[in-house]
């Protein structure tokens, strides 16, 4: 996704240092790979945070409103603490089922979009 983001910016006459990448990861290996991938491309990774609590329980970018959201969240994650988050403000379209985080991921990404934002994800 970072490679395609880089190509998108270049094709629209943008500069890589004009974009900011925000994210969080609970898997240590994946977090390190993402940081390395960004470093190789010369993209600032200071806002890609390690978060062992996970995106739902500890949203480290809770006030972020992004123009573009790209993500590849875990598919059908059943252990996402859904019962603890029944009344979360991110659920604009209803509380997600506690047995699968797919609807929670979709709503989390929508919540973080700016008014003109666009999202793409692989579920």
Q: What pLDDT is recorded for position 69?
A: 93
Whether 112 is in a domain gets the answer: yes
In a domain, 14, yes or no: no
Residue 56 covered by a domain: yes
What lies within 8 Å, CB to CB, of 38 at 6+ separation is: 2, 21, 44, 45, 48
CATH (domain of 65): 3.40.50.150
What total of structural domains would you count in the chain?
1
pLDDT of residue 29: 96
Provide the whole-model pTM: 0.88
User: What is d(CA 116, CA 82) in angstroms, rounded to the nearest whole number?
Assistant: 29
Residue 16 lies in a domain: no
**Domain membership of residue 108 as a residue range:** 2-8+21-121
pLDDT value, residue 16: 81
Does residue 66 fall inside a structural domain? yes
pLDDT at 75: 86
Cα distance between residue 105 and residue 43, in whole Å: 25
User: Three-state secondary structure along 74-91?
Assistant: CCCCCCCCHHHHCCCCCC
In a domain, 77, yes or no: yes
Give the SS3 label for residue 5. Answer: helix
Phi, psi angles (nearest 5°) of residue 78: -95, -10
**2: helix, strand or coil:** helix
Per-residue confidence (pLDDT) for residue 24, from 0 to 100:
93
Looking at residue 89, its pLDDT comes to 95
Within a domain: 13: no
Low-confidence residues of the chain: pLDDT under 50: none
């Amino acid at each position: 996704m970072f490679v395609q983001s880089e190509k998108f910016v270049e094709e629209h006459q943008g500069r890589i240092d004009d974009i900011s990448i925000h994210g969080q990861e609970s898997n240590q290996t994946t977090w390190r790979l993402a940081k390395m991938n960004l470093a190789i491309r010369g993209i600032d990774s200071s806002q890609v945070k390690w978060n062992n609590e996970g995106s739902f329980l500890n949203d480290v970018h809770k006030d972020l409103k992004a123009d573009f959201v790209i993500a590849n969240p875990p598919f059908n994650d059943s252990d996402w603490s859904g019962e603890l988050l029944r009344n979360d403000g991110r659920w604009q379209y209803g509380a997600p089922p506690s047995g699968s985080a797919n609807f929670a991921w979709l709503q989390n990404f929508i919540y973080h979009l700016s008014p003109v934002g666009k999202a793409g994800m692989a579920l």
